[in-house]
Amino acid sequence: MALTYKESGVDKEAGYKEVQLIKNLVKKTHIPGVLSDLGGFSGLFQLDTNEYKEPVLVSGTDGVGTKLKLAFMMDKHDTIGEDCVAMCVNDILCQGAKPLFFLDYIATGKLIPEKMAAIVEGVSNGCIKARTALIGGETAEMPGFYNENEYDMAGFCVGVVDKRKIINGSEIQEGDLIIGLPSTGIHSNGYSLVRKIVFEKQNLNVDSYIDELGSTIGEELLKPTRIYVDPVYDLIQRFNIKGLSHITGGGFYENIPRMLPKGLSANIDCSNIDTPKIFKLLQDWGNISIDEMYSTFNMGVGMVLVIAKKELEDIEKYLVDKDEKFYLLGEIKKGDEGVVLCHK
């Protein structure tokens, strides 16, 4: 008896249906420079070289980690793609880059077109927020490798920055100030610890209503990662932003030193942060030390900027005029500690 690809677990017709479902989602992300439509062997993007004296391409790739498990548990898949975009574009933003285009990769045990389209809907929404184009991707049906109801995903982003405007932290000096932009919650890091606390230690389920949060625990944990292109890219164009740090896995202790020259340390007053309630709950439920919290989670700050003291007033005015909340976290001092946190 002759076998078919479908009998082995790969449904090509489902793949064709997915493409039809996502075509408009992809198209609405397109920006000037996109030269290709969905369905080709590659995505094409024309860089406007007149806008840059010495254009440098900046790339980043990332995934969403075990936050995907929350999407599976809730059977809600239309925001997790936004997380994937955020993790990539926020990283390249730290070099001063303007995001240009994005590609995604989804691998699943069973390709269900509507579920895949929901994931891409999140990617599309994230790309629109990041002002970047979704120009291609891959959906791989891998029976026997993934469970039928599960998937993994990753993203890849390319941006551009003028060589003379690359942000690498080299201009940071003693006396510079540190500003933090709020997160929307946990974002996309630390979920292995989160799941252990919430579902194993506390024996909660995704539908458990938490009074302190005003929502179910599942709704809180699945909140999309904030995309910082607006307002950070505009800040980069208007002011001398000396350093940027995306607070992801490793929290404050691992990420902030990545932008600092040797011999300098970030001294931060944590009492200035309006920390979301979810972090206090996790700390109490898991009996987690404060240092462990700040070395795992963003603790309410998703992006950190370093600026010259003389620019503070103008930057504050700009952020207030845009109705953007921010925290004055502290200043740069001499030292080899990397980060010094003060908890009042």
Q: What is the pLDDT of residues 97-119, one digit of tens each?
A: 999 999 999 999 999 999 999 99
pTM: 0.96
Contact 242, 177 (CB under 8 A): no
User: What Cα–Cα distance (Å) separates residue 64 from each residue in 67, 93, 107?
Assistant: 6, 18, 13
Tell me the mean pLDDT in the region 246-264.
96
Task: Give the number of other CB atoms < 10 A from CB of residue 86.
Answer: 28
Token duo for residue 139? 């959906």
Q: Which two tokens stand for residue 143?
A: 């029976």
Reported as a single tens digit per residue, the pLDDT across 225-235 is 999 999 999 99
Instruction: Judge contact between 9 and 3, C-beta under 8 A.
Output: no
254 within 8 A of 295, measured Cβ to Cβ: yes
CATH for 6-165 is: 3.30.1330.10
Band of residue 1 on the pLDDT scale cut at 50, 70, 90: low
Query: Residue 288: what pLDDT?
Result: 97
- Tell me phi and psi for residue 107, to 5 degrees: -120, 135
Cα–Cα–Cα angle for 183, 74, 197, nearest 5°? 60
The 3-state DSSP class for residue 117 equals helix
Q: Name the fold adopted by 177-342.
A: Phosphoribosyl-aminoimidazole Synthetase; Chain A, domain 2 (3.90.650)
Domains of the chain, residue spans: 6-165, 177-342
| Sign of the four-CA dihedral 246, 247, 252, 254 | negative
Residues 56-88 have pLDDT tens digits of: 999 999 999 999 999 999 999 999 999 999 999
